[in-house]
Chain A
Amino acid sequence: MRETDIAVIGAGPAGLAAALACGESGATTLLVDFMDAPGGQLIKQTHKFFGSERQFAGTRGIQIPDIIMDQLSKMPNVALMWGTNASGYYADSGVLTLEDGARFIKAKAKRVIIATGAAEKPLAFENNDLPGVYGAGAVQTLMNVHGVKPGDRVLMVGSGNIGLIVSYQLIQAHVEVVALVEAAGRIGGYLVHAAKLRRAGVPILTSHTVVRALGEETVRAAVVAEVDQSWQVKPGSEREVACDVICLAVGLTPLVDMMWQAGCEMKYVPALGGHVPVRDENMRASNPAVYVAGDAGGVEEASSAMISGEIAGISAARSLGFEVKEADARLAQLKADLAAIRSGPTGEKICAGIKCATVCGGEW
């Protein structure tokens, strides 16, 4: 059986930052990702990052994996495994089971940093399993990464920034957005984005939802209806909208399966996207061998994921007695950076969620 001081599951922004901190400490580190290359969802982020230089401000998201990989590849104590699924974690022994398509591998780790990211949320309506009901991230990946048109007529569901931005990107790709429906009474995202859609002539239907998809094997239309203040469909308000894609932009939910397996104390925190592990300020879960980093601990964005990854990495290494240069000062700085990122209007909700998910007093 393979042995390592620390295993990091997931090589997106959080996992890469965590592995770098572990690697610098001298701990033997195993970084695993099921994709064939590192980066996670950074590969979709063509925009330049804001914020502080420590979190790559001014650098495009797609360039960050290369920058970190350049450092990781020079560290003899860091092992990388791509194309490898982390399929199980046995909390009693600290053994991870890994599968790389051809082999089934066991790895024993003293600490595990779980940086598995998040998944698109579905929405409950009749026929929501029909091909053509796609997550917003899927539409974006297909269109912006692979250059394939997701469909000809798209109904967008959800008016948060993702729903608004993906709608606009669809229009740029010459795809018709037949309407955008939002169950709440008002638009969720920034009005600048909504204004672009309005100018493009896209009807934005607030207080509306999808009740059913129509079609035999693929979507050919959606039935939308008006909802009242208690989210109930108003009788008689149903109408059919022809479309071949129903795009769901109703948020993300943390991928926490491995934390359930590890027996971590979990909490349902809607502000963070669903169930998340209860953690201390250094991202340690109730199982002391487990740390969480990035969206797996609560859905935010890439900059905060890199910060929580670094915090988890430093803390995990320190817990094993590895020396991390100026650890206390770095942790304090990272926590200040996080607070700064979360200081905006959307940050309020996140902060409340984090508070709810943090163990009382901040320490186990």
Chain B
Amino acid sequence: MVRLKNHPILDFPTGREVVFTFNGKDIKGIEGEPIAAALHAAGVRVLRHSPTLGRARGFFCAIGTCSSCLMTVDGVPNVRVCTEPLKQGMIVETQKGHGHLPIE
């Protein structure tokens, strides 16, 4: 997948480039864009595996209403990455099953 350039109508906001990790691998994205957009631009479409059958899941609504896109971000499970803004140094992981809350 790629980022759109030279769109006939739209200009896209260009933010600061940041680096985050996806399953341990460094990926570049734009600060403040949803994590899912950065992943998609990098060709990542599988965001988690379902709890019972382990089926691959990507995003579906991209506006935070369907919960298809839950991932583990900085150790916190069930983050809706379609709306969660990307920050420098974030640790993003595909989630298997329900995930566990890090409770001290």
> Which of A's residues lie within 8 Å of B, judged by CB?
34-36, 41, 46, 117, 119-120, 122, 129-135, 137-139, 141-144, 146-151, 172-174, 216-218, 255
Q: What secondary structure prevails in chain B residues at the interface with A?
A: loop
What chain A residues lie within 8 Å of B56 (beta carbons)?
Answer: 129-131, 216-218
Q: What secondary structure prevails in chain A residues at the interface with B?
A: loop
Question: How far is A134 from B2 in the complex, measured between Cα atoms in Å?
Answer: 17
- B65–A119 touching, CB < 8 Å: yes
Residue of A35, A130, A131, A134 near B62 (CB, 8 A) is A134
- B65–A255 touching, CB < 8 Å: yes
Which B-chain residue is minimally distant from A140 (CB atoms)?
A: B62
Question: How far is A134 from B12 in the complex, measured between Cα atoms in Å?
Answer: 22
Question: How far is A41 from B4 in the complex, measured between Cα atoms in Å?
Answer: 21
Residue of A129, A132, A144, A216 near B10 (CB, 8 A) is A144
Which B-chain residue is minimally distant from A248 (CB atoms)?
A: B60
24 A–B contacts, CB within 8 A, in A order: A34-B83, A36-B85, A46-B10, A119-B61, A120-B61, A129-B55, A131-B56, A132-B45, A134-B59, A135-B61, A137-B61, A138-B60, A138-B82, A144-B10, A146-B12, A146-B37, A147-B4, A148-B1, A148-B4, A148-B40, A148-B41, A149-B4, A150-B1, A218-B46
B9 at the interface (CB under 8 A from A): yes
What chain A residues lie within 8 Å of B2 (beta carbons)?
Answer: 148-149
- A134–B3 touching, CB < 8 Å: no
* B:34-72 near A, CB below 8 Å: 34, 37, 40-41, 45-47, 50, 55-66
B8 at the interface (CB under 8 A from A): yes
Known: A119-B61, A146-B34, A218-B56. 6 other contacts (CB 8 A): A122-B60, A134-B59, A135-B61, A142-B62, A174-B4, A255-B65
Chain B's nearest CB lies how many Å from the CB of A249? 13
- A137–B10 touching, CB < 8 Å: no
**A148-B4, A149-B4, A218-B46 given; A133·B60 CB < 8 A:** yes
Q: Number of contact residues on B: which range applies?
A: 20 to 34
- B33–A146 touching, CB < 8 Å: yes
What chain B residues lie within 8 Å of A135 (beta carbons)?
Answer: 60-62, 66
Query: Shortest 9 CB-CB distances between A and B: which pairs?
Result: A131-B58, A147-B12, A138-B62, A146-B37, A119-B65, A131-B45, A217-B56, A141-B62, A148-B41
Question: How far is A117 from B45 in the complex, measured between Cα atoms in Å?
Answer: 26
B100 at the interface (CB under 8 A from A): no
A-B contact count (CB 8 A): 98
- B37–A137 touching, CB < 8 Å: no
What chain A residues lie within 8 Å of B1 (beta carbons)?
Answer: 148-151
Q: Which of B2, B8, B60 has the most CB of A within 10 A?
A: B60
Question: How far is A178 from B85 in the complex, measured between Cα atoms in Å?
Answer: 32
Question: How far is A130 from B60 in the complex, measured between Cα atoms in Å?
Answer: 10
Which B-chain residue is minimally distant from A151 (CB atoms)?
A: B1
- B4–A119 touching, CB < 8 Å: no
Chain A's nearest CB lies how many Å from the CB of B22? 14
Which B-chain residue is minimally distant from A141 (CB atoms)?
A: B62
Q: Which of B37, B45, B66 has the most CB of A within 10 A?
A: B45
Residue of A129, A141, A147, A217 near B3 (CB, 8 A) is A147
- A173–B4 touching, CB < 8 Å: yes
What chain B residues lie within 8 Å of A130 (beta carbons)?
Answer: 56, 58
Which B-chain residue is minimally distant from A217 (CB atoms)?
A: B56
B25 at the interface (CB under 8 A from A): no
B7 at the interface (CB under 8 A from A): yes
What chain A residues lie within 8 Å of B45 (beta carbons)?
Answer: 131-132, 217-218
Q: Which of B8, B12, B64, B65 has the most CB of A within 10 A?
A: B65
What chain A residues lie within 8 Å of B7 (beta carbons)?
Answer: 147, 172-173
What chain A residues lie within 8 Å of B83 (beta carbons)?
Answer: 34-35
**A131-B57, A131-B58, A146-B37 given; A138·B46 CB < 8 A:** no
What chain A residues lie within 8 Å of B46 (beta carbons)?
Answer: 131, 217-218
- B40–A150 touching, CB < 8 Å: yes
- B4–A138 touching, CB < 8 Å: no
Question: How far is A172 from B8 in the complex, measured between Cα atoms in Å?
Answer: 7
